[in-house]
Structures are given as structure tokens and as C-alpha cells.
Chain A
Amino acid sequence: MIKKEMIAMLLAGGQGSRLGVLTTRMAKPAVPFGGKYRIIDFPLSNCINSGIDTVGVLTQYQPLRLNTHIGIGIPWDLDKNIGGVTVLPPFERNVNSEWYTGTANAIYQNIEYMESYNPDYVLILSGDHIYKMDYEVMLDFHRQCEADVTIAAMPVPLEEAKRFGIVITDENKKIIDFEEKPEKPRSNLASMGIYIFTWKSLKEALIANAEQSNLDFGKHVIPYCHEKGERLFAYEYNGYWKDVGTLHSYWEANMELVDIIPEFNLYEEYWRIFTKSETLPPQFIDGDTAVEKSIVGEGTSIYGKVYNSVIGRGVIIGKNTVVRDSIIMNDTSIGDNCTVEKAIIAENVSIGSNVFLGAGEEVENESKPDIYNYGLVTVAERSVIPDNISIGKNTVLSGVFQSADFENNTVPSGKSLIKAGETA
């Protein structure tokens, strides 16, 4: 009989609506990161680097990009004869066909998949964090504690703890209580959304709570296990871990990569991050240019100046254009004499010449101030911006624009310009 000690279930079905237009056409785990990667590459690489060769990827929201990216798992060596990567979308059944209604519900609907590998332990991961973690060490901890559930948790500053699910432990790291986004946190250990379950406990808990609507790990399954008196432990993790759930944290995490010795180092030999890569030519840097404190992907041509930015692959940056503090994703082209400041420009965008992104003063965004903030300019994928346009801060643009779409060739700060058929 097939037997895998531990298999991983990677939750990749969420939209990640706080990433705004970046996730209009793709799920959050498929969003590009760091000039070359997509967010899901980090948990997938962690899996194979930790010796986990069986991974179920649960998809639901806009899965096309994710499916093409994962394929049969070749980039991560997850194309295995036994195990490997399996994409698990929701499916129709004889009775009770439904979408994945919650994180734990998605896992519940795939009990059959997990059972087929006869695992001792199941690792639950989410596809929206940037980190390197050896899950095998976490498993050792789980076994040592004879735990039923181990939750990875990291210390956060106490003032930030109220944004997280907090675990309260005794001196043996045994969890004695939880608090979800508490006003007055009693501990600074924040749950990272990474769980190891002993398979027996997980299966029992999922079946017992099957009728619960929107079955969720944090809200239902973990409290259920706790109340039942199972052994829950917190595995303290002290490395780099970044939630890239909002545009600002996404931008910040990218910007951290360009430090001299970044806290999160992509250049280490022994914990490599794998991604689907094509053979691409080297990048070309023209004369009379400057590229400083930046990372730049393959096949990109730079004729202008780039400071403190993350540039994807196949990008073209025109003459006399200055790019600063920005993220420019794959295959986007920017014309000549442009200024780009604090912008997030998605894939396959075409920007004309003499365009100014990030002009003027900060004004609160008119439609979604909680998403488009911190002065960022966000441009959705496949957008086209014509020549001579000046675009303010806290703005979002999506669609194929012509000069006629703009008043005085400007987009004032705080404006959301979404062409018909597109959504913010």
C-alpha cells in the first residue's frame, strides 16, 4: 500500500481581494513576486526542500494562471511517480455539490485524496506568504511533543499582535488558549496559518464539523480540537516570514529584496526557490543608464535609470525614463522620458512616453481607501496608458486607455480609473 509519512495541503483558492486589481484575473498565490517568482513558489519550494514530495494544491478562484504555472510540478521536482503535485479544484458529486466554502471545508472535501496516501501527518499551508521554512524540523517538534496539532507561530511586536490570531502557551509551548485579533493581546505569538495535524485527529475533526458552514481552521477546527482536549502545541519560528496580503505589505516585501544583504536572501545555495522558468536571454543595460539597488529579471532591456526597484523579466524601460521605488512585472514596457515613482505595474502593461506615475500630493483613494493607499500607483495587467499622461498618488488604473479617456491628460491623486468590464 502507498504510504507517505507527511503530505502537504496547500490552500491556493483565495482571491486576496486586498491586493486590488492585481488579483482581478488570478488568485493571490499566482501573483508575481521578486522579479521572477510567483507567491506560491515559496511554499512549494519549501515543501520539496523539506523532503515533502506529495502536495495537494486546492484551487478555486481564477485558477488558470495557477494551473499553467504548476503544471505537473516539473520546476519543483514534484513530478513523481507516486505522489507529486495534484491540483484539486472543487468538483461535482452525486449529492451536495458545493464550492469550497472555507479553508477546512476545502480540505474536508478532499479527504479521499489524503486517504489515498495513507499519511501519518498532514501539513496545512496557505499560498500567500513569503518565507523559507523547514517543515521537517516542525514535524520533529510535533513528534517530540506527541502533539495532535502543531501551529507554527512567530513572535510579533505586541502593538501589532492585535492584527493576528494569537496563541497563548505554557512553558512547554503547549497551547492553553487562543485569541482572534484581540484588543489586549496576552501573548505576542502570532499564528502563521501553518499547521501540522496528526492525520487521525484531522480526519476526525473534519468529519465531526462537516455540517458547519464556512468551515475554517482558525475559527472552527482548531478550537474544536482544543475543546476536545487534544494536545495542541505552538512551534515558534523566528526566521523571515511576510504576509503579502495587502498592496502595501506586498510592495514592502518586494522592496526588502533589494537591500545589500536582504533579510530574505534569494541567493543562498542550499534553500533554493524554484519556479517555472523559461530559457530567457540575459538582460541588456545600455550606455548612459543607471541601475542601482535593484533586482532585474532575465531578458529585460534597460535604456533609462532604475533605482530601488524590482523589475521582472522581459521588461523594456525606455530612454531617460526614471523608475524609483517601484515593482514592474514581467513583459511590461515603459516608453521614453517617463517618471515612475512608487508604482506597482502588473504584467503585460504598455505605458507610452512622457508619462508621470506618482505625481503630486497624496489624496485618499475615492473608492477603496483601505486597498489603494500609502501613495502607491497600481496598474492592472494588460493595461495600456498612452503618451503624455500624468497620474497622481493612491490611484488605480485598469484597462486599455486612449488620450480621450483623460481630462487634461491627468489622473488626479486618489482617482480609480477602471474601464468598463473591469473591476477594482
Chain B
Amino acid sequence: MRAIGIILAGGNNHRMKELTRKRAIAAMPVAGSYRSIDFVLSNMANSRIQKVAVLTQYNARSLNEHLSSSKWWDFGRKQGGLYVFTPVMTADNNFWYRGTADSIYQNLTFLKNSHEPYVIMASGDGIYKLDYNKVIEYHIAKKADITVVCKDVDDENMERFGILKMNEDRQIEDFEEKPVIAKTNTVSCGIYVIRRRQLIELIEKSAEEERYDFVRDILIRYRGLKRIYGYKMDNYWNNISTVEDYFRTNMDFLKEEVRDYFFHQYPNIYSKVEDLPPAKYNVGTHISNSLISSGCILNGTVEDSILFKKVFVGNNCYIKNSIILNDVYIGDNAHIENCIVESRGTIRANSFYKGEDGVQIVISEGDRYVM
């Protein structure tokens, strides 16, 4: 137990459009059975971290519900545990979290009362597997003050990333947050290793200067002064920041190698366990190249799609290249193509939805009677 974890799951993002209307990005359902925060939580658990704080403020209810117990990820119960910190009013503070650094500052006692020497900071929207111990070892070997996990990406749209430039020793020389023109193709994965005392010192100093953002006011500001290193990650990594990312990341799981990497190779990804019955396929279903989650009842045709938990598909439906989120009821003869159907929706019989120019988000708020 040489590290504690801090998960920055505060944010909303307008590029996720309607999908974050009722939940934080970290609570977005991913790959049928999971939520995006499960990946970072599982990585922490698999790296034998026992004590994790989740800092959240936008629509915290969605996360609170998911993070109902530390036991889903096997964190400590008596020693350590899983803590969800939302902003609170105190005698000397009545602000919301004004930025990532501020959210840590407002919960600095958590850091001060811990004894573990290192802190892993990570965002709640990354889809990857990583043993953080390897990053800590690298961090120690490089005698770094801060280590930033990064990855070379091959993407025409780099605007949504933080871009790094490193020297041959992997020390970070330049860091630009979401530049219009990227100088390199190395992006920050939003995962940092830092010594706990160092972090306390930097956060306190920034707060004094009324600076509140970890990347802008600490990482970028101190890049010449402190030894900041990059740790390159080779395996699958993706983050959810736009509707297109979200759609693409989910659809990646239809690829055999991605499925094998996340679902079948050790260590596993854990999530809150729900007691749902197995999926049921009735006569006349045609399922092809799709992921189906537990609790689904299927009647129609489903192709190249991901069905989350408890989806009901009526007779003669046609669902193609779509993501159907949890607990959606789809009436008979519905046609859904290139869509993301928001959770707990009711799609009326005979409806027709087709994303013509990219992905269409379908939100239906129909009443439903529970039998």
C-alpha cells in the first residue's frame, strides 16, 4: 500500500450533448456491462490500491448510486475504502469546486491524513488497463516530481487532448492544453503520479495564489521548475469526451482483440453487480455481431450493436449499428439505425430513427407501466 488514488470525476462536457444531461461522464455506461469509472477503479484495485477518493460535483447522484459500496472493487473496508467527495459548505469555504486543483484543496485533509507516500491521480473517463505500480516504479527511477502517463495517438482531431513534448530522456519540455494545432502526437492520458507531500505543497501554494486548475496552474506552470516526466503507454487507451468518441469507444468492443483484451485477459474489470437474469432469446430473433447484456429479452433483429442491461426488443424490430443504453423498451416493428438510445427510454412501436449524418441521440420520455 504505497499509494492512494484520487479520481477526478467532476465534470460535465458540452460535447457529450444530451448524454450528460442526467449523469456525469464518469457514470456513462460503457461496453454493455460497465460504467466508464469502472475502468480506473478496477485499475486501482488491480494495482492493490486500497484507498480511493472520487471527487465529483456535476450530477453527483448518478455516481453516488454506482459507487454504493467499496466491495464491488474490493477496496478496503476498515483500512482504506472508497470515498466520494462532493463540495460541502464549511466555516471557511462555500464554493463549488472551482477546478481540479481546488477540488483536491477542498479535500486536503484526505491527503494529509493518509500515510501512503504516493498519489495516483486519474480522470474517470478513460477506458484502459494499466498497472499503476509500473508507473510508480518509473517515477522513482526517473526521480521525477510528477509523472504524466501519455500515449501516441493517430487521430486527425487532436483538439480535445493535452499535447506533450518530451526530450529524449522523456522529460516533458512542453505541455499544451487542447491546442488548435498539435505539435506532436503524444497526448496526456490524464493519469498522474506524484508524491503525496509534493502534491499537498503544490496544491496549497496554488490555492494561496487563487489558482485552481491542476493542468494549467501546476503541470504547465511548473514544467521548467519541477522534474515532470512522461510514461508512455502502448496498450488500448481511449477517453470519452465527445459523442463520437463515446460511440467509437463502445463499438471498439465489437472487435475481437479489444474484447479479448478487456474481457478475457487478466486482470478483470469490475463493476457494481446487479442481480439480473441471463439474456433471453425468443423465436424469430436474429442477432449478429453484437454485445448483449444480462436481463435483455430479445425478439427482433440486432446487427452490429451493443445492448446494455435490461433492454427489451419487440417483434420485427431492426436495430443496426446502434447503442441501446440500460433499461430501454423497444416496441414492435421499430427501426433504429446509427443511434444512441438514452437509458430508461420507451421507443413506441413502429417508430423510425436513423442517424443520417453521424450518430443520432434518441431520448424518449414515454410513460411506462411496470408489471
Chain A 353-386 interface mask (CB, 8 Å, partner B; 1/0): 0000000000000000000000000000000000
Within the complex, what minimum Cβ distance (angstroms) separates A59 from chain B?
Answer: 23
Report whether A296 and B282 are in contact in the complex, using a CB–CB cutoff of 8 Å: no
Is residue A304 within 8 Å, beta carbon to beta carbon, of the partner chain? Answer: no
With a CB–CB cut-off of 8 A, which chain B residues contact A298? 33, 278, 293-294
Is residue B275 within 8 Å, beta carbon to beta carbon, of the partner chain? Answer: yes
Within the complex, what minimum Cβ distance (angstroms) separates B28 from chain A?
Answer: 16
**Given that A282-B32, A293-B283 are contacting pairs, would A36 and B277 also be in contact in the complex, using a CB cutoff of 8 Å?**
yes
**Given that A290-B286, A292-B282 are contacting pairs, would A285 and B270 also be in contact in the complex, using a CB cutoff of 8 Å?**
no
Report whether B275 and A292 are in contact in the complex, using a CB–CB cutoff of 8 Å: no
**Which residues 322-359 in A have Cβ within 8 Å of B in the complex?**
none
**Which residues 116-144 in A have Cβ within 8 Å of B in the complex?**
none
Is residue B27 within 8 Å, beta carbon to beta carbon, of the partner chain? Answer: no
Q: Find A269's partner among B307, B308, B370 (CB 8 Å cutoff).
A: B370
Is residue A273 within 8 Å, beta carbon to beta carbon, of the partner chain? Answer: yes
Chain A 84-107 interface mask (CB, 8 Å, partner B; 1/0): 000000000000000000000000
**Given that A75-B275, A279-B271, A293-B283 are contacting pairs, would A285 and B31 also be in contact in the complex, using a CB cutoff of 8 Å?**
no
Is residue A266 within 8 Å, beta carbon to beta carbon, of the partner chain? Answer: yes
Is residue B281 within 8 Å, beta carbon to beta carbon, of the partner chain? Answer: yes
CA distance A281 to B291 in the complex (A): 9
Within the complex, what minimum Cβ distance (angstroms) separates A347 from chain B?
Answer: 15
Within the complex, what minimum Cβ distance (angstroms) separates A253 from chain B?
Answer: 15
With a CB–CB cut-off of 8 A, which chain A residues contact B371? 268-269
Q: Find A282's partner among B31, B268, B281 (CB 8 Å cutoff).
A: B31
Is residue A191 within 8 Å, beta carbon to beta carbon, of the partner chain? Answer: no
Is residue B363 within 8 Å, beta carbon to beta carbon, of the partner chain? Answer: no
Report whether A35 and B278 are in contact in the complex, using a CB–CB cutoff of 8 Å: yes
Chain B 326-345 interface mask (CB, 8 Å, partner A; 1/0): 00000000000000000000
Report whether A260 and B32 are in contact in the complex, using a CB–CB cutoff of 8 Å: no
With a CB–CB cut-off of 8 A, which chain A residues contact B179? none
Report whether A36 and B278 are in contact in the complex, using a CB–CB cutoff of 8 Å: yes
**Which residues 237-279 in A have Cβ within 8 Å of B in the complex?**
258, 260, 266-269, 272-275, 277-279
Chain B 254-286 interface mask (CB, 8 Å, partner A; 1/0): 100001001100001111111101111111111
With a CB–CB cut-off of 8 A, which chain B residues contact A74? 71
With a CB–CB cut-off of 8 A, which chain A residues contact B270? 279
CA distance A306 to B279 in the complex (A): 13
Is residue A291 within 8 Å, beta carbon to beta carbon, of the partner chain? Answer: yes
CA distance A296 to B297 in the complex (A): 11
With a CB–CB cut-off of 8 A, which chain A residues contact B31? 281-282
CA distance A273 to B276 in the complex (A): 8
Q: Is the interface of A mostly helix, strand, loop or mixed?
A: loop
Q: How many residues of B contact A (CB 8 A)?
A: 44
Is residue A392 within 8 Å, beta carbon to beta carbon, of the partner chain? Answer: no
CA distance A289 to B280 in the complex (A): 16
Report whether A294 and B281 are in contact in the complex, using a CB–CB cutoff of 8 Å: yes
CA distance A391 to B284 in the complex (A): 30
Q: Find B275's partner among A35, A275, A290, A299 (CB 8 Å cutoff).
A: A275
Q: Find A279's partner among B72, B259, B280, B295 (CB 8 Å cutoff).
A: B72
Chain A 285-318 interface mask (CB, 8 Å, partner B; 1/0): 1111111111111110000001000010100000
CA distance A75 to B273 in the complex (A): 9
Is residue B198 within 8 Å, beta carbon to beta carbon, of the partner chain? Answer: no
Is residue B290 within 8 Å, beta carbon to beta carbon, of the partner chain? Answer: yes
CA distance A216 to B297 in the complex (A): 43
CA distance A288 to B259 in the complex (A): 19
Report whether A289 and B288 are in contact in the complex, using a CB–CB cutoff of 8 Å: yes
With a CB–CB cut-off of 8 A, which chain A residues contact B33? 279-282, 298
Q: Find B291's partner among A258, A272, A284, A289 (CB 8 Å cutoff).
A: A284
Report whether A296 and B273 are in contact in the complex, using a CB–CB cutoff of 8 Å: no
CA distance A366 to B270 in the complex (A): 47
**Given that A289-B287, A293-B283 are contacting pairs, would A282 and B295 also be in contact in the complex, using a CB cutoff of 8 Å?**
no
Report whether A277 and B275 are in contact in the complex, using a CB–CB cutoff of 8 Å: yes
| A-B CB pair tally, cutoff 8 Å | 116
Q: Find B283's partner among A274, A279, A292 (CB 8 Å cutoff).
A: A292
Is residue B68 within 8 Å, beta carbon to beta carbon, of the partner chain? Answer: no
Q: Find B288's partner among A269, A288, A294, A313 (CB 8 Å cutoff).
A: A288
Chain B 316-359 interface mask (CB, 8 Å, partner A; 1/0): 00000000000000000000000000000000000000000000
Report whether B282 and A285 are in contact in the complex, using a CB–CB cutoff of 8 Å: no
With a CB–CB cut-off of 8 A, which chain A residues contact B254? 284
With a CB–CB cut-off of 8 A, which chain B residues contact A297? 278-279, 294
Report whether B282 and A260 are in contact in the complex, using a CB–CB cutoff of 8 Å: yes
Chain A residue with Cβ nearest B299: A260
With a CB–CB cut-off of 8 A, which chain A residues contact B293? 282-283, 298
**Given that A279-B270, A281-B263, A285-B288 are contacting pairs, would A292 and B370 also be in contact in the complex, using a CB cutoff of 8 Å?**
no
Report whether B269 and A279 are in contact in the complex, using a CB–CB cutoff of 8 Å: yes
Report whether B32 and A292 are in contact in the complex, using a CB–CB cutoff of 8 Å: no
Is residue A34 within 8 Å, beta carbon to beta carbon, of the partner chain? Answer: yes
Q: Find A299's partner among B263, B283, B297 (CB 8 Å cutoff).
A: B263
Within the complex, what minimum Cβ distance (angstroms) separates B4 from chain A?
Answer: 23
Within the complex, what minimum Cβ distance (angstroms) separates B278 from chain A?
Answer: 4
Within the complex, what minimum Cβ distance (angstroms) separates A410 from chain B?
Answer: 32
Is residue B306 within 8 Å, beta carbon to beta carbon, of the partner chain? Answer: yes
Is residue B289 within 8 Å, beta carbon to beta carbon, of the partner chain? Answer: yes
Is residue B148 within 8 Å, beta carbon to beta carbon, of the partner chain? Answer: no
Within the complex, what minimum Cβ distance (angstroms) separates B281 from chain A?
Answer: 4
Report whether B295 and A267 are in contact in the complex, using a CB–CB cutoff of 8 Å: yes
CA distance A369 to B48 in the complex (A): 53
Interface centre among A284, A292, A306 (most CB of B within 10 A): A284
**Given that A286-B289, A292-B285 are contacting pairs, would A273 and B277 also be in contact in the complex, using a CB cutoff of 8 Å?**
yes
Interface centre among B31, B274, B283, B287 (most CB of A within 10 A): B287
Report whether B290 and A277 are in contact in the complex, using a CB–CB cutoff of 8 Å: no
**Which residues 1-38 in A have Cβ within 8 Å of B in the complex?**
34-36
3 shortest interchain CB distances as A-B pairs? A282-B32, A281-B263, A266-B277
Chosen A-B contacts, 16 in total, with CB atoms closer than 8 Å, are: A34-B277, A36-B278, A258-B280, A269-B370, A274-B275, A281-B32, A288-B288, A292-B281, A292-B283, A292-B284, A293-B281, A296-B278, A296-B280, A296-B281, A296-B292, A298-B294
Known: A35-B278, A281-B32, A297-B279. 8 other contacts (CB 8 A): A277-B274, A281-B33, A281-B259, A283-B293, A285-B289, A293-B283, A296-B279, A298-B293
